[in-house]
Structure 1
């Protein structure tokens, strides 16, 4: 029974007013609730934006630090590469009986290959090439240290003091490798290296060498097949397990001697095939009549063509001597 049925027509509008008031009340409650939710959402959103902004600033600062560190590391590597490069021959020695040429391609800015040519006295040239295991800074540090020990002016390995004139004697190649083997044990440096050391008497044409498990130098003859110089011993760093031997050979005008590191023969093509010792020997022999500089250039080009100009996986070094 509603108000009209009770017979109070003057109260007819009361229900409508009451319903309107209730609806206004519900709307007010809903508004307050939604406003609170809206305010809460705004606060949460502002907090998220603030944290995101702070994270972005922190990330940007971290990136700046990383870039600065990377830039510093790159500068250090460039400086190290400059030091290593300074240890290589800056120009070919002026000896009328000999012509020299070389190619040096580290696979990184610094590497584990190094070589040098230096005059020992008025009749003799010293020459070495070595390849330290691994790549990068650790290997380069060993190459720098070894090259300093083999320096004819400051190092004491290639010459021995004596009382009688000329107050020194030349250390034989096998003795040089033996001394290096004692000074650079693998357990101390966590590195080993292969090497060849030669003494060339350019007056008589005699070459004495010793090979510490390095790829055998290739001796090219004007009228015959190549000869490999294999006499020596094991890798440097093994602690004298096998004594180093040496050999003396006679070089004549027209001969060319090629030393190289295994990055040359272990270069691969897209099929995974190695350039290899045999192909290197055949390439050198096929172009042996070229001057020594052109011979090395042609051989390096053949290796790169074989690998279809793929990036080098190891340091590549070639050192050539022509006897004129």
Structure 2
């Protein structure tokens, strides 16, 4: 019965005595070797003149424990598992080897490793592209601007930009694309290239972006949430609109200790409706007012009690802080990381993106 079971196995099976002699092989092994190797030395069956340098069966005899290793036999790779055979008194009297041909599996593993290396290289190129699109220069001497951008994956779904529209207007937006990875990052590239930076109305620009999105991605499940604001340095006003961003940007003044949440509804850039409506709102700014933009990654950080960092704690860090935008953002990161018990934002579950724009002076 036992021999019939073993003979039905596709793997090779052989039994070797303590003197390296083969005392049994199953049918699969005998057929593959094209002979009956019983009585031969175990290594002679594989056309070797001396025992293997690291003999798995000798290791089994020495340790009394099963051993496994890979061996090259007739230009094929085998996984060899050797187990001890013991008599009724517990003495090892032989070993049984099961040899499985893993050549194709090893080729597949190598192909997967090479493909992963290629994918990693391509992801790094895409990452460099995405980072290269982030703002590098402040477009006007009347504002001070700083940001933090930290994707939770190699490629992020968050994005932001600040740019000069004309001599009197500065545009700034922050966006959060659903999901992460390549698809989300490619939508951030679409966003930067497609948003019309000549339109003075944020609502009109978002409406045009919505149409452009549906001309190209109407069959996709992804969507973009974006808050877009335009600062008029001649009138010291901020006009803003929102397409579904689920957190409210904040205008605050550390000297007067006042703040305002910029809440305005709007449909995300998506294929959800045929004719979305976006609304422009206007706010008169004071010197040293700050505009804080962020996505939900920072407020949704949780502590060990499953409590979120939240909007109130965020405002608490912002209020009364007269330091530069870059220093303030670092303070927010420190406070949120300590709250969540993580090392800065390196272990965050979502993208962390924030920006702070300070109105330094109005144009005469």
TM-score (norm 1): 0.77
Q: Tell me, yes or no, if structure 1 residue 315 matches structure 2 residue 344.
A: no
1:259 matches 2:293: yes
Counterpart of 2:339 in structure 1 is: 306
What is residue 77 of structure 1 aligned with on the other side? 123
CA contact (8 A) 1:181 1:239 kept: no
Partner deviation per Cα, 1:192-216 (whole Å, 9 max, x = no partner): 1211111111233111110122111
Map residues 17-32 of structure 1 onto 2, 5 A cutoff: none
Q: Does structure 2 conserve the Cα–Cα contact (< 8 Å) formed by 1:98 and 1:202?
A: no
Q: Say which SS state the counterpart of residue 288 (structure 2) adopts.
A: coil
Question: SS of 1:126's equivalent?
Answer: strand
Alignment of 1:1-324 (within 5 A): 41=25, 45=29, 47=32, 53=78, 55-93=101-139, 95-150=140-195, 157-159=196-198, 170-185=199-214, 187-214=218-245, 215-221=247-253, 222-237=255-270, 238-239=272-273, 242-286=276-320, 288-309=321-342, 311-324=347-360
Deviation readout 1:9-64 (Å, 9 max, x if unpaired) = xxxxxxxxxxxxxxxxxxxxxxxxxxxxx787388656488576382333332221
Alignment-derived partner of residue 25 in structure 1: none
The answer to which structure has the higher strand fraction is: 2
Question: 1:269·1:306 contact (CA, 8 Å) conserved in 2?
Answer: yes
Higher-Rg structure is: 1
**Aligned equivalents of 2:340 and 2:24: distance in 1?**
66
Runs of 5+ unmatched residues, structure 2: 1-21, 34-45, 47-72, 79-99
Instruction: Give distance in 2, aligned partners of 1:249 and 1:290.
Output: 23
Indicate conservation of the 8 Å contact 2:300/2:308, yes or no: yes
Q: Distance in 2 between matches of 1:223 and 1:113?
A: 31
2:12 — aligned with what?
none
For the residues of structure 2 that align with 1:52 and 1:144, how far apart are their CA atoms?
A: 46
What number of residue pairs does the alignment pair up?
270
Q: Which runs of 5+ in 1 are unaligned?
A: 1-37, 151-156, 160-169
* 1:258 positional shift: 0.3
SS of corresponding position for 2:313: helix
Distance 1:316 1:261 in 2: 7
Q: Deviations over 1:132-189 (max 9, x none)?
A: 1111111111111111112xxxxxx232xxxxxxxxxx34100011112222247522
RMSD over aligned CA atoms reads 2.4
Secondary structure at the aligned position of 2:234 is classed as coil
The 2-side partners of 1:75 and 1:292 are apart by: 34
| Separation (CA, whole Å) in 1 of partners of 2:175 and 2:24 | 72
**Secondary structure of 1:189 counterpart:** coil
1:82 match: secondary structure: helix
Structure showing the higher helix proportion among its residues: 1
RCO comparison, higher one (Cα < 8 Å, 6+): 1
